[in-house]
Each structure stands twice: as structure tokens, then as C-alpha cells.
């Protein structure tokens, strides 16, 4: 009985294992065939395949050698006269801008001007009702006439030795006082006529005809726009540069000062520095400059804004293309190639930035050779083959993109 059971178990195990065994054998057979095929191919074509592989590797190596030996474009800085431009936001003011106020109290009888009208010096702009002032003047004139009669009578009595000369002096003093009162009254009458103190343009009218005007009330403003004062704030460093330049013999008239208006067009007239304020602004560190511009066509008005351009010629400035530099941590660098073709990294200081070029303050000279194109291909200490390009040719093609 036990033998029968054991035989049945063996048969069952054998039946279950046979498919797995066949599958494993089939897989192993395929792998053996693939291995044999690969070995056969390797034996038959080993030499050609190796040769091709060698050529491919050599091609890659040649490509690497070609990249390493690629000639770098090199040029030199140029010393030339460069116009340096400084820009400042500005405010435009009339050279004379005053408030027209009433000197006396009264009713505004006539308004002789319009808003925006051009007036000449001496023109009557406003007239206050002068009745009270005229009446006071007439009364004072009568007092002066009475004093004159008393003086004449006293003078005759002195001549007749009836009264002393002291009485004559008193009469004369009384007459002088009366005449002074007449002049004061006449001045008050004249105050009723408000005249233009200079040629200018009338601004907004604050009072209309018939209004009761208090003493000191503002009626309008008057602007003399023949010359415009343009104020702009200059940092302390620029201020010191300007002072050093003027003390060094540079005439401020050589500065080309232009005014750009709100429509981005330049004003037709050139300006000049008219004044520098006495104090710095402690909060901003700036000081106010004033540039004076003639305004013959009356284009500029009080209160406009614009941009001041100060153009100054820097003689023999060192100039390089911007694309010959790179930046690391907010510092500018250039690659300098020595006589042995070794590349050296050098820090440079920029004095001014112009379209496509930098004006160099320090770090480079006209005898240096700097990498123009291929900056990404070199490193500090590399020895390179390079092609030198004439600086004038480089500057003439600055609009071309590098690499």
C-alpha cells in the first residue's frame, strides 16, 4: 500500500515539473544559439569591426583636437575720444515767476488781462475801485493848500518883523507834512492800478470783476519765460567730478547740455550751468544744479519736466567691446593673452557704458590683447592659438553678434 502511494506521488511530481523543465531548456537553448552566433560573427568580422571602431574613435578624438585648437579671436583696446553722457530728471522753471497781489482792500473794478495772455512791462492788469482813495487824496491836497497859505502869510509877517522867524519854520514844517500826506494819498490811488512789473505771461485768474478784494489777496501769477531755469539733482560723486574738471582748467562752456522734453524730443536750444545750490540734501546725498536755457519761441513753460543730458568729451579714453567681457559676482573681467599665448583672467573697472562698448577706467591698456570671441572656450592659464583682429575693424562691426 505504501509503495503504491509513493509511486503516485512520484508520477505527480514528474508530471508537474515536465513543462517547467521544457520551458527552461527552451530558453537556455535560445541563449546558447545567440551566444554561438555572436561568437561566430566576432570571429569572422573582428578585424573590420575593430578597424571601423578605431576610425570612429579617431574621428571623435580628431574632433576634440579640432575644438581644442580652434583659433580664438583676439583684439586690443583702443584709445579714442569718447563723448560721455549723464542723464538727470529735471524740473523747468521760469527765470521770474511771481504772484500778483492787491496792495489795498477794495472792489475789483476792471480786469485788463486774460489767462495765458502776454503782457508788457507797465501794462495795467487790474484796477480796484479808487473812490475812497481819491477822496482821501483830495482832502489831503486841500490841507496842503491851507498849509501853503499859512506859510505865505507867515513869511510876509516875518518880513515886516511882526512875528519871529521861528514861526516861519513852524509853518514850513506844517506845509511839508501836508505835502507828504498828499503824496501818500496819491500812492494809495496808484495802488488801485496793478501793473505788470515785467514782460511775461499771465497765469490763472483767481478773482473776477466785481469781487471784494482783501489787502494782500492773490489775483494771478506772472511768468517771465524768456530764459528758463532747469533744476536737476546731482550725486555727490558727480558733483566732485564737475568741480575737479572746472578747477583743472576745463571751461564749463565746453559741456554740451541738452534738454529732452516729455515727448522724447530734444529742445532746440543748448543750455549752460547757471548755478549750484549751497547745500546738499542729507537724505538723498544730492545737490541741485541749475541749467539756463534761452526760450525764444516760448515753447517751455513754468512747471514742465524733462531730462537733462550732459555730454562731456573724454580724451584718449580706453575703449573695448562689451562682448569681450564677462561678469562674476557683479565684477567685470576680461581674458588677456600674453606674449606666450597664455590666457589670464583680469578684473577691469568700467568708467562709462556706451552702446556696444565700455569705457575702461582701469585694468587694461592699449598694448594688451584681449579675447574677443571664444570666451567660453578658454580658461585662466590655457595656452591658445589665436587670430588677431584689428581694433578699428572690430569697432566698426560692433552690431554683429559674437559667436
E strands in 102-217:
106-111, 118-119, 124-128, 193-195, 200-202, 212-213
Domain boundaries, the chain: 72-80+317-396, 86-91+224-314, 99-220
Instruction: Give me the mean pLDDT over the 97-104 stretch.
Output: 92
Task: Determine the pLDDT at residue 67.
Answer: 44
On the question of pLDDT at 57 being above 50, the answer is no
- Residue 248 CA to residue 185 CA, distance in Å, equals 60
SS3 349: strand
Task: Determine the pLDDT at residue 252.
Answer: 61
Task: Determine the pLDDT at residue 20.
Answer: 42
Task: Determine the pLDDT at residue 35.
Answer: 45
Instruction: Give me the mean pLDDT over the 123-129 stretch.
Output: 91
Joined together, the cell numbers standing for residue 213 give: 478784494
Task: Determine the pLDDT at residue 61.
Answer: 40
pLDDT band for 396, please (50, 70, 90 cuts): confident
Instruction: Give me the mean pLDDT over the 376-394 stretch.
Output: 89
- What are the φ/ψ torsions at residue 364 (nearest 5 degrees)? -140, 155
pLDDT tens digits, 24-45: 445 444 444 444 444 443 344 3
- Residue 334 CA to residue 403 CA, distance in Å, equals 16
Residue, of 231 and 243, whose pLDDT is higher: 231
On the question of pLDDT at 143 being above 60, the answer is yes
On the question of pLDDT at 338 being above 50, the answer is yes
Task: Determine the pLDDT at residue 87.
Answer: 92
Lowest mean pLDDT among 47-61, 92-106, 136-150, 321-335: 47-61
Lowest mean pLDDT among 197-211, 240-254, 266-280, 300-314: 240-254
- Residue 293 CA to residue 299 CA, distance in Å, equals 11
Residue, of 71 and 241, whose pLDDT is higher: 241
CATH class for the domain made up of 99-220: mainly beta
Query: How is residue 265 annotated by DSSP?
Result: P
Joined together, the cell numbers standing for residue 403 give: 559667436
Q: What is the pTM of this model?
A: 0.65
pLDDT band for 251, please (50, 70, 90 cuts): low
Arithmetic mean of pLDDT over the chain: 81
Joined together, the cell numbers standing for residue 197 give: 512789473
Task: Determine the pLDDT at residue 186.
Answer: 85
- Residue 257 CA to residue 292 CA, distance in Å, equals 10
Instruction: Give me the mean pLDDT over the 100-118 stretch.
Output: 91
Joined together, the cell numbers standing for residue 250 give: 576745463
> Is domain 72-80+317-396 in CATH 2.40.420.20, yes or no?
yes
pLDDT tens digits, 267-285: 999 999 999 999 999 999 9
- What are the φ/ψ torsions at residue 385 (nearest 5 degrees)? -90, 135
Q: Smallest Cα–Cα separation from 257: which of 80, 87, 81?
A: 87
pLDDT tens digits, 291-316: 999 999 999 999 999 999 998 888 88
Assigned CATH topology for domain 86-91+224-314: Elongation Factor Tu (Ef-tu); domain 3 (2.40.30)
On the question of pLDDT at 390 being above 60, the answer is yes
Amino acid at each position: 500500500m505504501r509503495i503504491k502511494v509513493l509511486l503516485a506521488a512520484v508520477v505527480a511530481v514528474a508530471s508537474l515539473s515536465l513543462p517547467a523543465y521544457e520551458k527552461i531548456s527552451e530558453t537556455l537553448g535560445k541563449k546558447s544559439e545567440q551566444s554561438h552566433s555572436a561568437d561566430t560573427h566576432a570571429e569572422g568580422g573582428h578585424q573590420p569591426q575593430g578597424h571601423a571602431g578605431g576610425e570612429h574613435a579617431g574621428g571623435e578624438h580628431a574632433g576634440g583636437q579640432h575644438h581644442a585648437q580652434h583659433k580664438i579671436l583676439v583684439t586690443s583696446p583702443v584709445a579714442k575720444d569718447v563723448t560721455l553722457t549723464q542723464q538727470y530728471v529735471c524740473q523747468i522753471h521760469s527765470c521770474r515767476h511771481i504772484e500778483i497781489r492787491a496792495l489795498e482792500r477794495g472792489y475789483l473794478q476792471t480786469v485788463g488781462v486774460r489767462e495765458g495772455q502776454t503782457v508788457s512791462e507797465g501794462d495795467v492788469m487790474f484796477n480796484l475801485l479808487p473812490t475812497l482813495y481819491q477822496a482821501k487824496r483830495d482832502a489831503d491836497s486841500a490841507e496842503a493848500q491851507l498849509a501853503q497859505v499859512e506859510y505865505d502869510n507867515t513869511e510876509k509877517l516875518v518880513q515886516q518883523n511882526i512875528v519871529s522867524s521861528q514861526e516861519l519854520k513852524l509853518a514850513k514844517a506844517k506845509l511839508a507834512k501836508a505835502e507828504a500826506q498828499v503824496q501818500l494819498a496819491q500812492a494809495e490811488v496808484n495802488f488801485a492800478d496793478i501793473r505788470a512789473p515785467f514782460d511775461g505771461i499771465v497765469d490763472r485768474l483767481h478773482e473776477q470783476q466785481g469781487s471784494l478784494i482783501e489787502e494782500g489777496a492773490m489775483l494771478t501769477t506772472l511768468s517771465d519765460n524768456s530764459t528758463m531755469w532747469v533744476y536737476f539733482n546731482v550725486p555727490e560723486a558727480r558733483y566732485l567730478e564737475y568741480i575737479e574738471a572746472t578747477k583743472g582748467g576745463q571751461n564749463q562752456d565746453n559741456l554740451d547740455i541738452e534738454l529732452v522734453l516729455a515727448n522724447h524730443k530734444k529742445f532746440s536750444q543748448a543750455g549752460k550751468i547757471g548755478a549750484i545750490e549751497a547745500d546738499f540734501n542729507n537724505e538723498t546725498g544730492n545737490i541741485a544744479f541749475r541749467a539756463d536755457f534761452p526760450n525764444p519761441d516760448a515753447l517751455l513753460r513754468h512747471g514742465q519736466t524733462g531730462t537733462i543730458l550732459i555730454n562731456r568729451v573724454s580724451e584718449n579714453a580706453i575703449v573695448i567691446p562689451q562682448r569681450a567681457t564677462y561678469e562674476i559676482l557683479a565684477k567685470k573681467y576680461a581674458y588677456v593673452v600674453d606674449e606666450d599665448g597664455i590666457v589670464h583672467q583680469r578684473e577691469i573697472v568700467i568708467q562709462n557704458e556706451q552702446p556696444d562698448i565700455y569705457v575702461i577706467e582701469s585694468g587694461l591698456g592699449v598694448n594688451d590683447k584681449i579675447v574677443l570671441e571664444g570666451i567660453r572656450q578658454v580658461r585662466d592659464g590655457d595656452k591658445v592659438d589665436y587670430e588677431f583682429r584689428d581694433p578699428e575693424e572690430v569697432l566698426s562691426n560692433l552690431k554683429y553678434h559674437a559667436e
